[in-house]
Amino acid sequence: MTEREVVTLALGNYASLVAAQWANGTTVYDRAHNTLYTERRRCAVRGSVMNDQQNQMMMSSDFVRVPRLVLLDAPHSTRLKRTRHVVSDNACQDVGSEHEVDDVDENSDGCGLEEERIGKNIYTRSAAERSGAASTGEQHFNNIAYDEESSGQQDATPPLFRDPEATKTSSFSERQSSFRKIKKELFCEEDSLVPWWQYIHGGVCEDSLHVLHPLHRIAATSAGINEVPLLHNFGFGVTHLRSSVSGDVADVMNSIRRQLEDADSLQGLQCFVDSGSAFGGAACNIMEELWEDAGPKTPVTFFSCFQPLPEEILAQHSDVDFADRRRDEACLNRLLATTSLSRHDSSVYIPLELKQWHDSFAAALATDANSVAALSWLQNDVATAQLIATVADSALYGTRDKGFLDSSSEHGPAFYMQDWQATIRPIKHLRVAAALVSIPMWVHDARCPRGDLWEFLERHPLLQTRPESNGGCFVPLTHTLTHGPQTDAGRVLGHAVTLRGAGQLSDLTYPRQEALLRYALPLRSGNYLPLVTENSYPISSTFPHDFVLPKELLLSGALQGIDAGSHIVSTYDSVSMLKSIADESQKILRHRRHLHESSYGMDYDEWKEALEEVLGMRDDYHHPGDEDYGGDGDDD
């Protein structure tokens, strides 16, 4: 099979973080081939800081490999929180002047880095950029303490965070003056007060990284309110984050069109979206234009991220302003994302509900008390983004490579995205897919020294969400699976599984294809697409040290990759998720619809249509042939 291009799109702050981790986790094979990467002049790539002499010396053939990646984030969507001292070259006229500002705390869905990362360290540009060297295809993330000795060697030093206990508090008048100055800087998209902008800056084309500028004028004129940030609002994204209204979105579409022109034979797009926000609405508009330009049969896979609300907002008697409205918005955003992003026949919609992950992983690790206690990585945005990147990369790995280690073996894609989509969504009106992950996947087990593939498959049964003795499991990332595939309520309609690293095992019991067919027999579905690779998922320089494996093992550098499994499933068991969305939305729209009509730009008939659509989706998945489902079909 010949290579065909796949373009990656990330919409939102958290989605951009996922995309960066995804790009960092691509293989050497990927960077040398055209499915995920393309060539650009070194001077057009972010991180390629050059002086005039270097530019004159640069030859026309000086190219670097960069991912086919387009990003849109909103780094200015922050709020001031806690006093901190900053040294800034451009905050005052005096170079190196010192003033107090508050910590930056992300105030939109998908934001919120760890306190200690912001407090004791700085986010700054990579060593390659500081020295003038170009990045070579990997987005660099540096979380390092400020070194005064090396600061003088930098051509442009960004503002630096200092420990507030190390300096004295200035007078009230000085604080007020500094506050006014820093308020102006806060909305500069390249301000280093914004960690998200500092995260993704190297190895990406200059025309592929876009910033959604502040929307206060739109908020004041369209919604008539500005007490709640409208970036939380899916409907606001549908109404205003479109090319005809927002120049930033128009720039994104132009970048996508350039990617389409650069592709000889496009397979499709994979899209990471902060769907619980206005970026979900932007995704609807962007995809509508994409299908007009590239054709309605172009496959698009949505990895739809829903981050949980902060605990202070979820509290029943919250002191946070408009906490009730934020809780309502979280539910209504899910309603609109579920209906809008899954509506097109060429889309695969995979919702990733991060708030459920703790329970899912705790259940999977219930036999290991130490592992359950180590689930603190679920509070780390970098770690959860890495998990989504691993699942997405593994799920679609076959679209570019078969995963052989032997260079003499036949490489190239194992299947195309159209084939994968037809497997995951065999029936067009069944529009939601579920994702499960097995990480780490213990391919080489001392208790099974033969290294037989079939023995490994028996230890890792599909849809097994709790480990049995000496076995592994797949952790659900979308919703809990309460019914087995042998029942009507849990029937599997189609599924694709990728096992990274298991290809090194021997075929001692059955030939490989027969073993893989037998592996899927309990799911009783004819729509099945398996892939077993010899190579593992690479551990990049930004792989979190507190993620899944012991920190000491990751820091040792002994591991170059991690074995992981990704299982994407279309199943009637998704009805429980759809039912909860429908029930919660129905309750909100019945009692508080008037509070959201203006901000969402939707009238009574439009809300009614959206609710009826998700109720119809619920009915499509509802199969009460199993006795456990008795009575759930009539909720109107």
Instruction: Please write the tens of the pLDDT for every residue from 513-564.
Output: 999 999 999 999 999 999 999 999 999 888 888 787 878 888 787 788 999 9
pLDDT tens digits for range 321-367: 677 888 889 999 999 999 999 999 999 999 999 999 988 888 877 65
Structure tokens at 280: 């979900």
How distant, in Å, are the alpha carbons of 24, 164, 246, 493, 613 from that of 252? 22, 39, 10, 35, 29
Position 50 scores a pLDDT of 38
Split at pLDDT 50, 70, 90, the class of 311 is: confident
Query: Region 236-249: what's the mean pLDDT?
Result: 92
Q: Residue 82: is its pLDDT beyond 80?
A: no
Q: Would you state the pLDDT for residue 468? A: 73
CB 298 within 8 A of CB 260: no
Cα–Cα distances (Å) from 181 to 97, 98, 192, in that order, read 12, 12, 15
Query: At residue 135, does pLDDT exceed 70?
Result: no
Confidence of residue 636 (pLDDT cuts 50, 70, 90): very low
Q: Give me the sign of the Cα torsion angle 436, 562, 112, 180.
A: negative
Q: Which pLDDT belongs to residue 171?
A: 47
Provide the 10 A C-beta neighbour count for residue 1. 13
pLDDT in tens, 16-30: 989 989 998 898 889
Locate 278 and state its tokens.
Answer: 């206005």
Distance CA 188, CA 628 (A): 55
Model pTM?
A: 0.80
Contact between 333 and 279 under an 8 Å Cβ cutoff? The reply is: no
- How far, rounded to the nearest angstrom, does the alpha carbon of residue 172 sit from its chain's CA centroid? 42
Residue 154 predicted with pLDDT over 80: no
User: By mean pLDDT, which of 190-199, 404-413, 487-496 is the weakest?
Assistant: 190-199
β-strand 63-67 against 97-106: which pairing, if any? unpaired
pLDDT at 410: 74
Over residues 250-307, the pLDDT tens digits come to: 999 999 999 999 999 999 999 999 999 999 999 999 999 999 999 999 999 999 999 9
Is residue 474 predicted with pLDDT exceeding 80? yes
Q: Which residues contact 61 (CB under 8 A, 6 or more apart)?
A: none
Q: Domain boundaries in the chain?
A: 5-74+202-370, 78-184, 397-575
What is the distance between the alpha carbons of residues 212 and 189, in angstroms, rounded to a whole number? Answer: 9
Round to whole Å and give the CA distance between 174 and 321: 29
Average pLDDT (84-93) is 42
CATH topology of domain 5-74+202-370: Rossmann fold (3.40.50)
State the Cα–Cα distance between residues 336 and 585, nearest whole angstrom.
10
pLDDT, average across residues 119-130: 28
Question: Percentage of the chain surpassing pLDDT 70?
Answer: 70
* pLDDT for 131: 33
Residue 112 scores a pLDDT above 50: no
pLDDT range class, residue 310, cuts 50, 70, 90: confident
Q: Which one has a higher pLDDT value, 216 or 120?
A: 216
Q: How far is it, in rounded angstroms, from Cα 436 to Cα 232?
A: 27
Average pLDDT estimate for 572-576: 95
CB 571 within 8 A of CB 491: yes
Closest CA to 67 of 266, 205, 196: 205
